[in-house]
C-alpha cells in the first residue's frame, strides 16, 4: 500500500456513497496551510487573528469588516479568493461535483492553483491503492505541467517546476544536453527515467511533503534498435508512459462521468470516417482542428505533437447518435517552449455524449 501526494489533502477527506470526496473542516484547514495564506513577518495583527480563528473554526463565516481590517491589500484579496473557493466547495458537497461545476462554467474567477489542488485530490482518491508507479507518475500530467525533451528517438517528460528550479539553482543548460544517457542518474539533477528499477525511489519522493518530481516519464511509442550493418528495427515500448496515461484518462472519465472507455496510444490517424476529436491541450486542439479541416500544417507544428490516442466507447449507445460507434481521436502536444499542459477538463467537456446532444 503506497502513499503519495500528501500535499493534496486527500487524507483529510471522506467519501460519500458514490465514492466521491467530501470536504469538511479538516480539509479546509489543510487548504488554509497553503503558502499563499501563510503568515509572514509583515502580517498585521488583524491578519494573524483571522488566520488563528479560521484555523480553529475552518467553516466559520468571515465578515466584510474582518477582511477590511487586514492592512495588506494582497492579503485581503488572498483571503477573499480562499473564502469564495471554500464556500463553493462546501456548497457543491464533493470535490468531483465542484470540478464539474467549475469546468462546465468555465472556472471563471478560480485560480489555477485551486483547480490543480482539487484535481490532484480527486486523482489521489481515484488511484488510492495503486501499486503502479508509472500510472501515478502519468496522473501527474493532469495537474503538473511538463517539460518535454527529445533524446534520440525517445520523448521524455519532466516536471516543469522541478526542472526550472534545478536550472535556476544549479545553472545547468539545455536539459537535452544533460540527458546523454537516459539510463544513468545525472549528476546534480539526479534525474531518472522511471522504470521498475527506479520505482522505489519514485515512491519515496512521492510520499514526501513538498517534494519535487525528479523522475522522467518516457512517452515514447517505439524504440529503434540498431543491430549494425545499417539494419534497424522498431521495438514497441512495453512500459510506455503513454499507455499509463491512457489508463489514467479512462479512469478519470469513468470516475467523473460514469462512462466506460478504452483508450490506447496511436501513431497516426488513417481513418476515412474520422468524425470526432478532442485536443487534450490548447496546442492539440488547434492542430487537430486544422488537420480535420484539411488545412496545410507546418512541419514545426506537427513536431510538437507528442502523441495521438484512439478512444472507443464500450457502449455506443452512450454516444451522440450521429457519431455512435465511431472512434474518437485525442491529441497531446507541447507548445513552442516544449511545455506540455494537459487540460483534464477537455476530455470531460468535449466527448460526444448522448446526454449532451
Q: Are 33 and 85 in a shared domain?
A: yes
Last residue within a domain, chosen from 219, 236, 253? 236
Last residue within a domain, chosen from 97, 126, 155? 126
CA gyration radius, the chain: 22
In a domain, 215, yes or no: yes
Q: Are 116 and 13 in a shared domain?
A: yes
Instruction: State the DSSP H helix or E strand holding residue 311, giving kind and residue range, or none if neither.
Output: strand 305-313
Q: Are 227 and 329 in a shared domain?
A: no
In a domain, 1, yes or no: no
| Total tally of structural domains belonging to the chain | 3
Instruction: State the DSSP H helix or E strand holding residue 289, giving kind and residue range, or none if neither.
Output: helix 282-292
Last residue within a domain, chosen from 236, 256, 286? 236
The pTM assigned to this predicted structure is 0.89
Q: Are 222 and 207 in a shared domain?
A: yes
Number of residues assigned to the chain: 357
In a domain, 98, yes or no: yes
Q: Are 189 and 220 in a shared domain?
A: yes
CB hemisphere CA count around 82 (13 angstroms): 27
Q: Are 121 and 137 in a shared domain?
A: no
- Torsion angle in degrees (nearest 10) through CA of 322, 245, 107, 77: 180
The Cα 79–Cα 102 span in angstroms is 20
Q: Are 255 and 314 in a shared domain?
A: yes
Q: Are 62 and 92 in a shared domain?
A: yes
DSSP string for residues in 13-47: -EE-TTSPEEP-HHHHHHHHTSGGG---TT--HHH
In a domain, 17, yes or no: yes
The Cα 46–Cα 41 span in angstroms is 13
In a domain, 260, yes or no: yes
Q: Supply 54's cell numbers.
A: 479560521
What's the confidence (pLDDT) of residue 108?
Answer: 63
Q: Are 122 and 137 in a shared domain?
A: no
Say whether 259 sits in a helix, a strand or coil: coil
Number of Cβ atoms within 10 Å of the Cβ of 206: 19
Q: Are 231 and 246 in a shared domain?
A: no
- The end-to-end CA distance of the chain, in Å, is 42
Q: Are 227 and 292 in a shared domain?
A: no
Q: Are 260 and 348 in a shared domain?
A: yes
How buried is residue 225: exposed, middle or buried, by Cβ count under 10 Å (0-12/13-18/19+)?
exposed
Q: Which domain holds residue 117?
A: 6-126
What's the confidence (pLDDT) of residue 229?
Answer: 44
| Run means of pLDDT, 10 residues per run, the chain, 357 residues | 92 97 96 89 95 97 96 94 96 97 78 94 97 97 96 90 73 45 50 93 92 90 52 54 97 98 94 96 97 94 96 97 97 97 96 84
In a domain, 255, yes or no: yes
CB 332 within 8 A of CB 317: no
In a domain, 15, yes or no: yes
In a domain, 146, yes or no: yes
What's the confidence (pLDDT) of residue 357?
Answer: 52
What's the confidence (pLDDT) of residue 283?
Answer: 97
Amino acid at each position: 500500500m503506497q502513499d503519495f501526494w500528501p500535499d493534496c489533502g486527500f487524507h483529510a477527506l471522506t467519501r460519500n456513497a458514490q465514492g466521491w470526496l467530501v470536504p469538511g473542516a479538516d480539509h479546509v484547514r489543510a487548504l488554509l496551510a497553503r503558502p499563499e495564506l501563510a503568515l509572514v513577518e509583515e502580517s498585521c495583527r488583524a491578519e494573524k487573528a483571522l488566520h488563528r480563528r479560521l484555523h480553529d473554526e475552518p467553516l466559520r463565516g468571515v465578515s466584510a469588516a474582518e477582511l477590511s481590517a487586514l492592512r495588506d491589500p494582497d492579503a485581503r484579496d488572498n483571503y477573499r479568493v480562499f473564502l469564495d473557493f471554500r464556500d463553493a466547495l462546501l456548497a457543491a458537497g464533493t470535490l468531483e461535483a465542484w470540478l464539474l461545476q467549475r469546468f462546465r462554467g468555465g472556472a471563471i474567477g478560480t485560480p489555477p492553483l485551486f483547480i490543480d489542488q482539487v484535481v490532484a485530490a480527486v486523482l489521489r482518491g481515484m488511484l488510492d491503492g495503486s501499486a503502479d508507479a508509472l500510472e501515478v507518475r502519468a496522473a501527474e500530467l493532469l495537474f503538473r505541467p511538463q517539460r518535454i525533451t527529445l533524446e534520440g528517438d525517445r520523448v521524455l517528460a519532466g516536471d516543469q517546476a522541478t526542472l526550472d528550479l534545478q536550472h535556476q539553482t544549479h545553472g545547468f543548460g539545455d536539459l537535452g544536453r544533460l540527458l546523454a544517457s537516459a539510463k544513468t542518474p545525472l549528476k546534480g539533477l539526479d534525474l531518472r527515467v522511471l522504470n521498475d528499477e527506479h520505482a522505489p525511489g519514485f515512491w519515496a519522493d512521492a510520499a514526501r511533503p513538498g517534494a519535487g518530481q525528479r523522475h522522467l516519464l518516457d512517452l515514447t511509442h517505439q524504440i529503434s534498435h540498431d543491430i549494425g550493418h545499417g539494419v534497424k528495427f522498431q521495438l514497441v515500448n512495453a512500459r510506455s508512459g503513454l499507455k499509463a496515461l491512457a489508463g489514467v484518462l479512462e479512469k478519470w472519465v469513468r470516475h467523473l462521468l460514469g462512462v466506460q472507455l478504452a483508450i490506447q496510444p496511436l501513431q497516426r490517424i488513417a481513418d476515412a470516417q474520422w468524425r470526432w476529436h478532442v485536443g487534450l491541450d490548447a496546442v492539440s486542439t488547434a492542430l487537430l482542428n486544422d488537420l480535420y479541416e484539411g488545412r496545410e500544417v507546418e512541419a514545426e507544428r506537427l513536431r510538437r505533437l507528442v502523441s495521438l490516442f484512439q478512444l472507443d466507447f464500450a457502449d455506443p449507445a452512450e454516444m451522440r447518435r450521429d457519431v455512435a460507434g465511431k472512434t474518437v481521436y485525442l491529441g497531446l502536444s507541447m507548445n513552442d517552449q516544449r511545455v506540455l499542459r494537459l487540460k483534464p477538463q477537455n476530455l470531460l467537456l468535449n466527448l460526444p455524449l448522448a446526454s449532451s446532444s
